[in-house]
Amino acid sequence: MIEGPAPVVHGQRLGRGVTSCGSWTNPLTRGAAAPDPLLPAVTRSSTPYLIVAVTGRALAASAARGGYRVAVLDCFADRDTRALASVSRSVASPSGPLFDARALLRAADALGRQSSGGLVYGSGFEGRTGLLARLADGRPLHGNPPEVVAAVRDPAAFFPLLQGLGIGHPEVRLAPPVNTAGWLVKQPGGAGGAHVRYAGGSHSPGGAYFQRLEAGRTLSVLFLADGRRALPLGVNRQWTAPARPGIPFLYGGAVGGIRLPRRIVRQLRAGLDALVGASGLVGLNGLDFILRGDRWLVLELNPRPTATVELYDPDYPDGLFRWHLRACHGELPERAATSRATRAHAVLYASAPCGATAHLRFPGWCRDVPMPGARFEPGDPVCTVHASAADEAGAIALLRRRSDLMERALRRIA
């Protein structure tokens, strides 16, 4: 069990009609604001919240556990998302699981009072903070302001900040190294591993940066932040999926409840506190890092709720959606909850063209279940498979068996 700081409460309001629930002072953007005593307290009521993410199902499920009504705009409008939300619409671009900006803004405007509780966002706004600002204009924003997202995703600002805080990271360059062997090239606006490639050749995407490839365990930490301090909720081991040619680091899944040496835990807690204090992060966030021996090196920061939220959500009686709202108002739990199980999930990708026909059954341990008639091309995500057990080995073993069952089912209908 990891103890956290005593609760504190504060709030602030940003300009241009965007209300952010959280106090922050951001040296990356040189922004600051005074607390707003008129900001309302977080309460459960019939007032619905607007969830926007590439996939909003996990946040909607957490909100439902806490008694919150939600409308969801995402790229899939899956069957279980529709069951959890009062309104669920797909606003995906025809080119892939990305937001169609016009469709998103039109749908959000059409919801009007059906989402008057404010905006909670997940993945999909990395590199699109202008779209996030337009979506949040005139709505209470329960999450990091666009300026903070832009700052912590800017390699020219983020990695020097880490260095100034004494937090280690792999070597980073904004220009291609002379010899690209052993280097990765990343797009700052990407997520889910689709933005990471092995560096090579003479051409690199505009705005990309280079990060030295380091050996070690690929881990992440899910944490709550109140603008000044962090509360780690759990450490996760992540893996990639070879689902799409040329995208070697596509997110494959994760298992939670990873135990680290006490000295590393202390260093990680101190580093997160320093990072939150310097950047003003609020709500649920995730930090990816490499652990090699007695050193941990930061890879990147995800300044929003990550996919690993549901590895811990069942440990909180009212769900982590509620704690996300409360942390955005400046309140943290006294300590992280003790997990009752070790949980894992894996993304199931199509290996051949197929569809969600009447012959394709999705057991209860599948989530993000597609609507009947949905079609999938190779590399498209079909659903997520979930498992839990007493320990990591048991959870992974069960997850593999279930994933194998679903993969065989997909092959039968392909």
Where residue 336 falls among pLDDT bands split at 50, 70, 90? Answer: very high
CA distances (Å), 250 to each of 240, 242, 369, in order? Answer: 5, 7, 20
> Tokens for 122?
């997940």
For residue 233, give Cα distances in angstroms to 108, 163, 191, 276, 285: 31, 24, 21, 15, 10
Q: Dump the DSSP string for 92-148.
A: EETTEEEE-HHHHHHHHHHHGGGGTT-EEE-SS-TT-HHHHHHHHTTSEE-S--HHH
**Residue 81, CA distances (Å) to 70, 89, 108 in order:** 10, 9, 17
How many CB atoms lie under 10 A from the CB of residue 261? 10
Q: Give the pLDDT confidence score for residue 194 in this predicted structure.
A: 80
Determine how β-strand 354-355 pairs with β-strand 282-292: unpaired
Mean pLDDT of the chain: 88
**Least-confidence region, from 41-45, 189-193, 264-268, 338-342:** 41-45
Task: Read off the tokens for 414.
Answer: 């392909």
Over residues 4-19, mean pLDDT: 31
Question: Is 179 contained in some domain?
Answer: yes
In a domain, 133, yes or no: no
Question: Which of these, 312, 285, 282, 313, lies nearest to 298 by C-alpha position?
Answer: 285
Q: Is residue 186 part of a domain?
A: yes
Does 208 map to a domain?
yes
First to last CA, the chain: 46
C-beta separation of 220 from 254 below 8 A: yes
143 and 19 in contact (C-beta within 8 Å)?
Answer: no
Query: Is residue 204 very low, low, confident or very high in pLDDT (cuts 50, 70, 90)?
Result: low
pLDDT in tens, 54-76: 999 999 999 999 999 999 999 99
Structural domain range at position 207: 160-212
- The partner residues of 347 in beta bridges, in order of sequence, read 384
Residue 164 lies inside a defined structural domain of this protein: yes
Report if residue 189 sits inside a domain: yes
**131 in any annotated domain:** no
Q: Tokens 């040189």 label which residue? A: 30
* Stretch 233-260: mean pLDDT: 93
3-state helix, strand, coil in the chain (%, to 5): 30, 30, 45
350 found inside a domain:
no
Report the domain count for the chain.
1
- Measured in residues, the chain has a length of 414
Look at residue 203 in the predicted model and tell me its pLDDT.
Answer: 59
Residue type, 6: A
Check pLDDT > 90 for residue 367. Answer: yes
Residues in CB range of 247: below 8 A, 6 or more apart: 193, 194, 197, 379
